[in-house]
Amino acid sequence: MSKQNQSVREVLETPFREEQIKHRPGNFGQELAYVEGHAVIKRLNEAFDGAWSFEVCEHRVLEGEALVLGKLTCELGTKMAFGGSSVTHAKETGEIVSLVDDLKAASTDAIKKCATLLGVGLHLYESETKPSKGNGYRESGRSNGEKTDSSGNGSSRITAKQLAYVYALVKGKGMSKDDLQRLTISRFDRMPDFITKHEASDLIQELQN
C-alpha cells in the first residue's frame, strides 16, 4: 500500500468523536451505536478531497420498505451495498407520506454501508460484536477476501435470491438491518452482501430455526 493510500485509510478508519456517535434501542435489549449520514459524507470528503461518487444502481419498494442498491466509487475502488428505509405512513390516514424521502433515506443508508466497507465507522461494530467460535469456518486458504469452509472448498458470493430471503427472514423476526450486519460481521467478518453462498445457506437455516 502506498503512503498516499495509507494516509487515506487512516482518515477513513479514524474513530468518530463521542459527540458524533448516536444511540438507539435495538433488539434483545441492545443499545446500538451509529453516526448520521452527513458525518459519513464529511469523512469521505476528507479522505478523498471530494473526489468520490455514489450511484443508485437499483431501487425497489417492497412490503412497506424502500430498498436501494448503491455503488460508491473512489480512488480505492468500487464498493456496493444495499440500504433501506421504512416507508412512512400518515398516522391519521395510513397513506404514504413521501416515497421520494423514503428512497433518499435508503440511499443515505446505502452510502453509509458502502463507506463501512472502506473502513468508515467499523469501530462501532467492533465494540459491540465478538468473533464467534466453532462456527465451522476458518480464515486459511481464502483469496480476494473470500473465506473457505472447513473442507477448504471456496464458495461464490451470496445470490440476490438468497440475500432477499435473508432480509425477509430477518424482518419476520423483528430484527433490523443493523442487527443482521452485526450478526454477519460477528460470524463471518463481512457485511451481509459479501458472505458466500455456503455461509448464506447456514445463516438461512439458523434464521429459520
Q: Is residue 144 part of a domain?
A: no
Q: Is residue 139 part of a domain?
A: no
| Residue 32 sits in the same domain as residue 104 | yes
Tens-place pLDDT, residues 118-173? 999 988 876 544 444 333 333 333 333 333 333 333 457 788 788 888 888 888 88
Per-range mean pLDDT, top range of 42-46, 98-102, 194-198: 42-46
CA 107 – CA 202 distance, rounded (Å) = 29
Provide the pLDDT for residue 28.
52
By mean pLDDT, which of 4-8, 23-27, 92-96 is the weakest? 23-27
| Residue 17 sits in the same domain as residue 53 | yes
Residue 36 has pLDDT above 70, yes or no: yes
Tens-place pLDDT, residues 158-194? 887 888 888 888 888 888 887 888 788 777 777 888 8
| Residue 23 sits in the same domain as residue 106 | yes
Residue 58 has pLDDT above 80, yes or no: yes
Strand partners, 34: 22
Confidence of residue 10 (pLDDT cuts 50, 70, 90): very high
Q: Is residue 133 part of a domain?
A: no
118 Cβ partners below 8 Å, 6+ apart?
Answer: 12, 72, 74, 76, 79
Residue 106: name the closest of 64, 65, 166, 163 by CA: 65
Final residue of a structural domain among 126, 157, 184: 126
| Residue 64 sits in the same domain as residue 98 | yes
| Residue 82 sits in the same domain as residue 177 | no
Residue 59 has pLDDT above 90, yes or no: yes
Helix axes 160-172, 177-188, angle to 10 degrees: 120
Number of compact structural domains in the chain: 2
Q: Is residue 135 part of a domain?
A: no
Final residue of a structural domain among 126, 158, 174: 126
Confidence of residue 4 (pLDDT cuts 50, 70, 90): low
Q: Is residue 36 part of a domain?
A: yes
Average pLDDT along the chain: 80
| Residue 100 sits in the same domain as residue 50 | yes
Which CATH number goes with the domain that contains 28? 3.30.390.80
| Residue 67 sits in the same domain as residue 122 | yes
Q: Which domain holds residue 156?
A: 149-208
Strand partners, 54: 72
